[in-house]
A and B are shown apart, each in its own frame.
Chain A
Amino acid sequence: MSGPSTYNPKSGFEKWIDTRLPLPRLLHDTVHTFPTPRNLNIWYTFGGILTFCLGVQIVTGIVLAMHYVANAGLAFDSVEAIMRDVNYGWLIRYIHSNGASMFFLAVYIHMFRGLYYGSYKAPRELIWIIGVLIYLLMMATAFFGYVLPWGQMSFWGATVITNLFSAIPVVGGHIATWLWGDFAVGDATLNRFFSLHYLLPFIIAGVVGLHIWALHVPGNNNPLGIDVKSPQDTVPFHPYYTVKDAFYLVLFVILFAVFVFYAPNFFGNPDNYQPANPLVTPPDIVPEWYLLPFYAMLRSIPSKLMGVIVMAGAIVTLVFIPWLDTSRVRSCRFRPLMKQFFWGLLVCCILLGYCGSQSVDAAAFGIIPLVWVARLATIYYFAFFYLIMPIVGLIETPRKLPASIAQSVLGDTAAASSSLPAE
Chain B
Amino acid sequence: MAGVGLASAAWPFIDQMNPSSAALALASIEVDISSIQPGQQVVYKWRGHPLFVRRRTPKEIAESKAVDVNSLPDPLAENANLPAGAPATDANRATKPEWLVLIGVCTHLGCTPTVSTPQMPEGDYGGWLCHCHGSQYDTAGRIRKGPAPRNLDVPPYTFTSATKIKVG
Interface residue ranges, A against B (CB under 8 Å)? 156, 159-160, 163, 177-186, 188, 192, 278-281, 283-285, 304, 360-361
Within 8 A of A (CB), among B50-88: 50
Within 8 A of A (CB), among B138-168: 147, 149
Known contacts A278-B49, A360-B133; decide if A183 and B17 are in contact (CB<8 Å).
no
Task: For the complex formed, measure the closest distance between the CB of B15 and the CB atoms of chain A, giving whole angstroms.
Answer: 9
Count of B residues near A, CB < 8 Å? Answer: 23
Given contacts A160-B109, A180-B19, A279-B112, 12 further A-B contacts (CB under 8 A): A156-B110, A160-B110, A183-B19, A183-B27, A183-B48, A184-B47, A192-B17, A278-B49, A281-B110, A283-B131, A283-B132, A285-B111
Query: Complex formed: what's the CA distance from A180 to B110 in Å?
Result: 15
Within 8 A of A (CB), among B25-59: 27, 43, 45, 47-50
**B23, A178: Cβ atoms under 8 Å?**
no
**A280, B112: Cβ atoms under 8 Å?**
yes
**B49, A181: Cβ atoms under 8 Å?**
no
Majority secondary structure of chain A interface residues (helix, strand, loop or mixed): loop
**A185, B48: Cβ atoms under 8 Å?**
yes
**A159, B17: Cβ atoms under 8 Å?**
no
Interface: B119 (CB within 8 A): no
Cβ-defined partner of A285 (8 Å) among B18, B43, B109, B131? B109
Interface: B121 (CB within 8 A): no
Cβ-defined partner of B133 (8 Å) among A182, A183, A278, A361? A361
Residues on the A chain within 8 Å of B14, using CB: 178
Task: For the complex formed, measure the closest distance between the CB of B148 and the CB atoms of chain A, giving whole angstroms.
Answer: 11
**B19, A181: Cβ atoms under 8 Å?**
yes
Majority secondary structure of chain B interface residues (helix, strand, loop or mixed): loop
Query: Complex formed: what's the CA distance from A183 to B20 in Å?
Result: 11
- Nearest-neighbor residue (CB-CB) of A174 within chain B: B18
Query: Complex formed: what's the CA distance from A283 to B47 in Å?
Result: 23
Q: Supply 14 A–B pairs (Cβ within 8 Å), ascending by A.
A: A159-B110, A180-B19, A182-B47, A183-B23, A183-B49, A184-B48, A186-B23, A192-B17, A279-B43, A279-B45, A279-B112, A281-B111, A281-B112, A285-B109
Residues on the A chain within 8 Å of B147, using CB: 360
Known contacts A188-B23, A278-B49, A283-B131; decide if A181 and B112 are in contact (CB<8 Å).
no
**A163, B110: Cβ atoms under 8 Å?**
yes
Residues on the A chain within 8 Å of B49, using CB: 183-184, 278
Cβ-defined partner of A281 (8 Å) among B17, B18, B132? B132
Query: Complex formed: what's the CA distance from A182 to B49 in Å?
Result: 11
Query: Complex formed: what's the CA distance from A180 to B112 in Å?
Result: 19
Query: Complex formed: what's the CA distance from A188 to B19 in Å?
Result: 8
Task: For the complex formed, measure the closest distance between the CB of B49 and the CB atoms of chain A, giving whole angstroms.
Answer: 6
Known contacts A160-B109, A280-B112; decide if A182 and B48 are in contact (CB<8 Å).
yes
Cβ-defined partner of A188 (8 Å) among B20, B45, B133? B20
Residues on the A chain within 8 Å of B48, using CB: 182-186, 278
Residues on the B chain within 8 Å of A188, using CB: 19-20, 23
Residues on the B chain within 8 Å of A360, using CB: 133, 147
Q: Mark B123-139, 1 if CB is under 8 A from A, else 0.
A: 00000000111100000
- Nearest-neighbor residue (CB-CB) of A277 within chain B: B112
Residues on the A chain within 8 Å of B50, using CB: 278-279
Residues on the B chain within 8 Å of A178, using CB: 14, 17-18
Residues on the A chain within 8 Å of B19, using CB: 177, 180-183, 188
Query: Complex formed: what's the CA distance from A180 to B27 in Å?
Result: 14
Residues on the B chain within 8 Å of A182, using CB: 19, 23, 47-48
